[in-house]
């Protein structure tokens, strides 16, 4: 994962109450509710949502967060998709140590330069100083590649394809943001070595497609697959591909996951050579690729609303919450029994359903509580529903209420969950696409940037020009930079000029501020 320039973003803990009448009413009634509105104060809203939805807890070490079960379940669901997929590709899981010795860490200068300020060093154990300080991995290239060198001798040892699910540490940076930028995070990192560049190139794209699927099919977040610029690529690598998401409320792009072709640079540094089929000595071609808990933060940012979190059904640990609505003189036990039966029926059909029978909270409180936590579908069962042999379903994404006959429960709930999943994606895609602005001149670029657009521009693909754009847009909000050059390239008419340099443009590239 490439280091990125620090961006200013609001990340304070929930502050004092600030806003309007309606919100006060909600808070007064239930004790729940958010102080900040997404559209008005995105950063504060985000910090508030992730806590109130019980996704994270702030930890007593700044920049470190506790991933509570509500988040961990999402991470596990994504892992349950991704891990079997890479195993089909004959990629095997392993575990390399958390620690790197300094000699190895500094072996590749370009690579380490990007991480050096962020490396955490262990210098003591108990009361004793270590003879040599040891680093905690910010990523595992330098941890692994000395052993790739040892294990790879001949072409039959190739391809060597390993992955690990682990924690990494990147210290000392500004603006910690839960899930998006933290001092410790969870990720998977794949490291593969091939005999030929063709094999490496092919795998880069296969893995990138899996990352697109995680975002689009599981998190319901639209992404753009593309290549990073030379300036933005993984330091020490040959080229970097990524899936880029976009946050309309802030007008910032966010790198969702990366799949890097490292080329032969690390092979050269770590002497990862093999005897090929002709008996000649050759260097391997390598890839590395990763996605992290940042995925969860992107999902929250894209789908959350002023009531709280909004979870896509596919990654919700609770897809359906069933709430009894007792009424005076009504058959309370019958209502509770109907709730239990409903949960059982849904669970047996593979739907993740729970009931909320807590007797110390009102139904209204419960509605707000589960809305805050983002449960995709709420089922209400009251005396009228009981009498009519039906349940009332309420969608979290749009508030729609649907009465469903008990006899059709499973079929209808499954349809609804699929509909919600698709709707979340469609709405997110529409919002993102509305933010895409095609520009051709510098003036248009500046205007679009100030309007929080995702800027699509013809570019000459020169590193110094990107550096110049960054310098010219440097400011309080952070500089603009390339997000990616999409693989799906629209036609570039002959004679099109680069928006920034006036030179002949060679490609279309997305630009903007970034997390």
279 near a second copy (CB under 8 A): no
475 near a second copy (CB under 8 A): no
51 near a second copy (CB under 8 A): no
Which of the stretches 67-75, 210-218, 341-349, 433-441 binds a second copy when contact is defined by CB under 8 A? 67-75
Which positions ≥6 away from 486 have C-beta within 8 Å?
224, 225, 226, 508, 509, 510
Q: Which of 10, 85, 118, 306 is in the footprint of a second copy by CB under 8 A?
A: 118
Q: How far apart are CA 89 and CA 71, in angstroms?
A: 28
280 near a second copy (CB under 8 A): no
Radius of gyration of the chain (CA): 25
Q: How far apart are CA 396 and CA 422, in angstroms?
A: 13
Query: What are the structure tokens assigned to 308, written together?
Result: 């709280």
Q: How far is the CB of 93 from a second copy (least distance, A)?
A: 5
66 near a second copy (CB under 8 A): yes
144 near 162, Cβ under 8 Å? yes
Q: Which of 34, 49, 78, 119 is in the footprint of a second copy by CB under 8 A?
A: 119
Q: What residues numbered 378-437 form the site for a second copy, per CB under 8 A?
A: none
Q: How far is the CB of 20 from a second copy (least distance, A)?
A: 30
506 near a second copy (CB under 8 A): no
Give the C-alpha distances (Å, rounded to integers) separating 499 from 122, 408, 458, 481: 48, 57, 6, 13
**# residues contacting a second copy (CB under 8 A):** 55
449 near 473, Cβ under 8 Å? yes
476 near a second copy (CB under 8 A): no
327 near a second copy (CB under 8 A): no
Q: How far apart are CA 412 and CA 431, in angstroms?
A: 28
282 near 483, Cβ under 8 Å? no
Binding mask 176-205 for a second copy (x = CB under 8 A): --------x-x-------------------
92 near a second copy (CB under 8 A): yes
57 near a second copy (CB under 8 A): yes
123 near a second copy (CB under 8 A): yes
113 near a second copy (CB under 8 A): no
Q: Which of 13, 21, 61, 281 is in the footprint of a second copy by CB under 8 A?
A: 61
Give the C-alpha distances (Å, rounded to integers) separating 427 from 248, 294, 303: 12, 21, 9
Q: Which of 8, 22, 109, 150 is in the footprint of a second copy by CB under 8 A?
A: 150
Q: Cα dihedral sign for 64, 65, 66, 72?
A: negative
Q: How far is the CB of 184 from a second copy (least distance, A)?
A: 5
Q: How far apart are CA 378 and CA 396, in angstroms?
A: 7
If you search the block for the tokens 């696409």, which residue do you land on? Answer: 433
As a whole number of Å, the end-to-end CA separation of the chain is 13
53 near a second copy (CB under 8 A): no
Our CB check for a second copy shows the closer of 122 and 407 to be 122
Which of the stretches 11-19, 97-105, 192-200, 454-462 binds a second copy when contact is defined by CB under 8 A? 97-105
353 near a second copy (CB under 8 A): no
287 near 325, Cβ under 8 Å? no
Q: Please work out, in degrees rounded to the nearest 5, the angle formed at the alpha carbon of residue 373 by the alpha carbons of 424 and 219.
A: 35
Q: How far apart are CA 412 and CA 401, in angstroms?
A: 13
Q: Cα dihedral sign for 149, 153, 159, 162?
A: negative
16 near a second copy (CB under 8 A): no
Our CB check for a second copy shows the closer of 27 and 68 to be 68
333 near a second copy (CB under 8 A): no
Helix (H/G/I), strand (E/B), else coil: 112: helix
390 near 405, Cβ under 8 Å? yes
171 near a second copy (CB under 8 A): yes
454 near 251, Cβ under 8 Å? yes
- The H-or-E segment that residue 413 falls in is helix 409-435
Q: How far is the CB of 179 from a second copy (least distance, A)?
A: 12
146 near a second copy (CB under 8 A): yes
Q: How far is the CB of 143 from a second copy (least distance, A)?
A: 8
Summarize as ranges the residues that interact with a second copy (CB under 8 A).
Answer: 57, 59-61, 64-69, 72-73, 75-76, 92-99, 101, 104, 116-128, 133-134, 136, 146-147, 150-151, 156, 162, 166-167, 169, 171-172, 184, 186, 358, 360
């Amino acid at each position: 994962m490439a280091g990125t320039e620090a961006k200013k973003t609001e990340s304070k803990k929930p502050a004092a109450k600030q806003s309007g009448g309606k919100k006060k009413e909600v808070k007064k009634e239930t004790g729940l509710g958010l102080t900040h509105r997404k559209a008005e104060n995105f950063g504060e809203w985000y910090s508030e949502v992730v806590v109130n939805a019980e996704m994270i807890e702030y930890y007593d070490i700044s920049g470190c967060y506790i991933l509570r079960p509500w988040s961990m379940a999402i991470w596990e669901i994504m892992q349950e998709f991704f891990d079997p997929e890479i195993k089909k590709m004959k990629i095997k899981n392993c575990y390399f140590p958390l620690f790197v010795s300094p000699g190895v860490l500094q072996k590749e200068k370009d690579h380490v330069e990007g991480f050096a300020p962020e490396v955490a060093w262990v210098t003591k154990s108990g009361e004793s100083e270590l003879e040599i300080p040891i680093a905690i991995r910010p990523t595992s290239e330098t941890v692994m590649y000395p052993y790739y060198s040892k294990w790879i001798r001949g072409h039959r040892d190739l391809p060597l394809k390993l992955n690990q699910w682990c924690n990494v540490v990147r210290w000392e940076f500004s603006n910690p943001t839960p899930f998006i930028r933290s001092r410790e995070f969870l990720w998977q990192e794949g490291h593969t070595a091939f005999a030929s560049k063709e094999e490496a190139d092919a795998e880069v794209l296969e893995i990138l497609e899996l990352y697109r699927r995680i975002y689009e099919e599981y998190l319901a977040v639209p992404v753009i697959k593309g290549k990073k610029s030379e300036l933005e690529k993984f330091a020490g690598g040959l080229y970097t591909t990524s899936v880029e998401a976009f946050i309309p409320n802030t007008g910032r792009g966010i790198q969702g996951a990366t799949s890097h072709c490292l080329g032969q640079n690390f092979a050269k540094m770590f002497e990862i050579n093999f005897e090929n089929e002709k008996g000649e000595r050759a260097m391997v071609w390598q890839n590395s690729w990763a996605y992290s808990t940042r995925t969860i933060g992107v999902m929250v940012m894209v789908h959350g609303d002023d009531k709280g979190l909004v979870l896509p059904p596919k990654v919700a640990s609770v897809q359906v919450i069933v709430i009894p609505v007792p009424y005076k003189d009504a058959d309370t036990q019958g209502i509770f029994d109907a709730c239990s039966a409903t949960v059982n029926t849904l669970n047996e059909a593979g739907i993740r359903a729970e009931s909320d029978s807590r007797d110390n909270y009102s139904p209204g409180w419960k509605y707000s509580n589960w809305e805050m936590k983002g449960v995709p579908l709420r089922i209400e069962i009251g005396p009228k529903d009981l009498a009519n042999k039906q349940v009332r379903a309420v969608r979290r994404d749009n508030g729609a209420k649907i009465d469903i006959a008990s006899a059709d429960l499973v079929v209808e709930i499954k349809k609804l969950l699929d509909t919600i999943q698709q709707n979340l994606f469609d709405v997110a895609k529409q919002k993102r696409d509305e933010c895409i602005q095609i520009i051709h001149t510098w003036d248009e670029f500046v205007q679009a940037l100030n309007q929080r657009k995702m800027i699509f521009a013809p570019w000459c693909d020169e590193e110094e020009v990107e550096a110049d754009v960054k310098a010219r847009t440097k400011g309080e909000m952070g500089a603009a930079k390339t997000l990616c050059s999409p693989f799906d390239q629209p036609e570039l008419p002959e004679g099109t000029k680069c928006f920034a340099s006036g030179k002949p443009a060679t490609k279309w590239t997305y630009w903007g501020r970034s997390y």
